[in-house]
Every structure is written in structure tokens, then in C-alpha cells.
Amino acid sequence: MSKLGFGTHPYLLGFDELERLVERTARTGNEGYPPYNIEQTGEAGFRITLAVAGFAEDDLSITLEDRQLVIRGKSRDEAERVYLHRGIASRQFQRAFVLADGVDVAGASMENGLLHVDLNRSAPENVIQTIRITSQGDQQSSKE
């Protein structure tokens, strides 16, 4: 007997994209830089906070690509500096978060070396749709 995957379960029709989403999520953001927090800010609000010390607002970009929030950082390294010790990381990074349907980016702000990205979840609409049942005779007469 073979075990059914989540996306192939007979009661979950149309969720085959879900397994690909889980795989994509597992591949992104495996490294620990930059560190981040995710907190709930209200009934339907979330905040992602990344520690981006040393990055200016112009060094950061935030994009939404196919329900995936992607935050990139690229710092400008001044060539004239000579470091005796360099313990502050200033390397490029890309951090991705997959957003569920109904989760929207409300805005982003920078404060004390922390990048805050605010998210809001909108309540899904309950739609009730009545499907008309036709008989074989109805289908044949509509084809003529």
C-alpha cells in the first residue's frame, strides 16, 4: 500500500501546488544571516524584523514575487578602509518568506538598524454558490 502525499490526497483537490510551495520554502533562507524575528502585532497583523546593522535604506530591497516576500541586502564596501579586525558582517543576503493567500504587505520601515516589514491578513470571503443540476436531455438540447 502506498502512502498518499499531502497534495495528492483525494479530498484535497487542487492543492498539488502546496507540496511545491513547501519544498520551495525549505530551500530558501537556510542560512542564519541576517537574524530575524516574526511577531504577531494584532488579531490579523504580523511583523517581520530583520537585524540589518550597517545597511542603509538604499542598500535594501523588498519585493513580492509569486506570493513570496523577498528581502535583499547589498552593502557598498568602501575600498579605502583598512580593517585591523572585521567582526561586523556586511555581506549580501537574500531572505525569503512565503505568504499565504490573503496576507498582504502593509509597509516597511527602518529603525535603529532594524528593518520592520508589516503584514496584514484579510478575512476570506465566505462565498456560497449554487450549482444548477442539468439532465442529459438539457445538455443535448443546448448543443443543437
Q: pLDDT tens for residues 85-130? A: 988 767 899 999 989 888 999 999 999 999 999 999 998 788 899 9
Cell of 104: 498582504
Instruction: Identify the pLDDT of residue 101.
Output: 86
- pLDDT of 1 higher than 60: no
Grid cell 516597511 is found at 108
**CATH architecture of structural domain 32-123:** Sandwich (2.60)
Contact between 98 and 105 (Cβ < 8 Å): no
Q: Which residues contact 90 (CB under 8 A, 6 or more apart)?
A: 54, 55, 75, 77
For β-strands 60-65 and 45-51, DSSP reports them as: unpaired
Q: At residue 121, what are phi and psi to the nearest 5 degrees?
A: -105, 125
Q: How confident is the model at residue 80 (pLDDT cuts 50, 70, 90)?
A: confident
Instruction: Identify the pLDDT of residue 93.
Output: 93
Q: What percent of the chain has pLDDT above 90? A: 49
* Strand-pair partners of 46: 40, 119
Q: Where in the chain is the domain with CATH 2.60.40.790?
A: 32-123
